[in-house]
Structure 1
Amino acid sequence: MSKPWWKKALDSGYYEKRGYVSEYGGAAGFVPAASQNFTEMSRSAGDIDRIVIHITGGTNVGSAINTFAAKNNSKKTSAHYVVSQDGLVYQMVKEKDRAHHAGSSANKRSIGIEHAASNKSGPTEEQYWASAYLVRYLAGKYSIPVDRTHILGHQEIATTDHNCPGPLWDWPNYIMKVYLANLFYWA
């Protein structure tokens, strides 16, 4: 089975040579979203006060990456980060820019994290831990409190009827992992 196009580009250093380097040291790489799927901004630490958790609706991280990188993405959606089932983190939008993930007003003040998971299978332990370390990093960088007021599910802030990340997302377990990640986090 051959590697997907984006994996080949990462392995060859294609994106890195063009200045796409993940801001999060734990990321597997930066695969840029298509320019029409996010808004270039100059957000600073004071502009970002929330982290929004999503699931993609399917377990294949490549599908999410393909959608966000596609110029013909009819919904013009993206997320700052995508987390695979095996716990690999890919950045797709620079943190200073506004990803299109949760509605205009929420997008202005948040970082969006997609998880390749469905409402039938839910996230894996590897995903929970990888995401927890990512959220710990973001919370520290942007002085975001680690609580359910500032780390939210898409359905909690969406202006439409969404069930994301859905009933299988274990919030108490996840927030506990974010706290534990703080004990072992190195920046």
Structure 2
Amino acid sequence: MGKRAGETAGGDGGSGEPEGAATPTRRRALWVGGGLLAAGAVGLAARDELRHWWWQLPGNDKPRKPGEVDHRGARWVAASPENYRRADRPADYDVDRVVVHVVQGSYASALRVFRDPAHEAAAHYVVRADGRIAQAVRELDVAFHAGNRAFNERSVGIEHEGFVDRPESFTDAMYASSAALTADICRRYGFPADREHVVGHVEVPGTDHTDPGPHWDWDRYLRLVRAELRGPGPRPAKT
């Protein structure tokens, strides 16, 4: 988690006209082709932008119930609205990533700072050493957890109690409970349990964080996630 994990937007690259001489006919063809391509790009951009705001019109957003959770058995502990952005995922933003974090502290301290509006960061979930799971932000919404706006919009963030330099932080109960949660997320959004789609905070572009650190056992974790996916379905989280 660290000091802050808000949203940082990346820049867009550009491209110029190809170099070299061209006949007037060729120039006209390039211009017309470029114009058609530009119109197509504008159309796609407009459609994508429409996805991001249509749900805000009355009656279009998904129904919400106070205290409702996305992972069965998780305990609801609401983050401050300043630490996430209301959305309607996956209708407006596709979800295809899980980002694994380590708190650098306790379960209780993570939930405390997520409730603090001045913190400007929160993850969707926090997993305790004994396997208990708290949900602080609905998966519908964009939590400020990765330090990268595009990753925030496409991912679910899971914090884990403990410290990156203390391997004893990562208990059997924590691995099992977190793996069941990640499998549930993969199943619901339809993306695979692999290292492209289940990543550490350290792998997010532009981050200065190192979690989950060298002691997080990725092979073990993904084996557990895949075993859960082969099972009959989500099981209750420890309460």
Q: TM-score, normalised by structure 2?
A: 0.66
Unaligned runs of 5+ in 1: 1-17
Q: Distance in 2 between matches of 1:167 and 1:54?
A: 12
Distance in 1 of aligned mates of 2:164 and 2:183: 25
Is the 1:133–1:185 Cα contact (8 Å) retained in structure 2?
no
**Which secondary structure does the structure 2 equivalent of 1:90 belong to?**
strand
Match for 2:139: what amino acid?
Answer: E
Report the alpha carbon displacement of residue 138 of structure 1 after superposing the two structures with TM: 0.4
* CA distance in structure 2 between the aligned counterparts of 1:112 and 1:57, rounded to whole angstroms: 15
Instruction: Give the aligned partner of residue 183 of structure 1.
Output: 230
The amino acid of 2:174's aligned partner reads Q
Is the CA contact (8 Å cut-off) linking 2:187 and 2:229 kept in structure 1?
A: no
Partner residue, 1:78 = 122
Partner of 1:149: helix, strand, or coil? coil
1: CA distance, partners of 2:180 / 2:190: 15
Task: Give TM-score, length-normalised by structure 1.
Answer: 0.84
Distance (whole Å) between structure 2 residues aligned to residue 181 and residue 154 of structure 1: 23
Give the alignment's Cα RMSD to 1 decimal.
1.4
Aligned-partner residue type, residue 165 of structure 1: P
Helix, strand or coil for the counterpart of 2:222? helix
Match of 2:152 among 107, 112, 118: 107
Aligned to 1:6: none
> Which residue in 2 is equivalent to 1:39?
85
| Residue of structure 1 in register with 2:10 after alignment | none
How many residue pairs get aligned? The number is 166
| Structure-2 change in CA distance of 1:148 and 1:108 (3 Å) | same
Q: Equivalent residue for 2:45?
A: none
- Which of 128, 132, 135 does residue 91 from structure 1 map onto? 135
Deviations 1:143-163 (A, max 9, x none): 011100000001111413221
Amino acid at match of 1:66: R
Q: Distance in 2 between matches of 1:66 and 1:182?
A: 32
Rg comparison, structure with higher value? 2
Deviates more, 1:31-40 or 1:175-184: 175-184
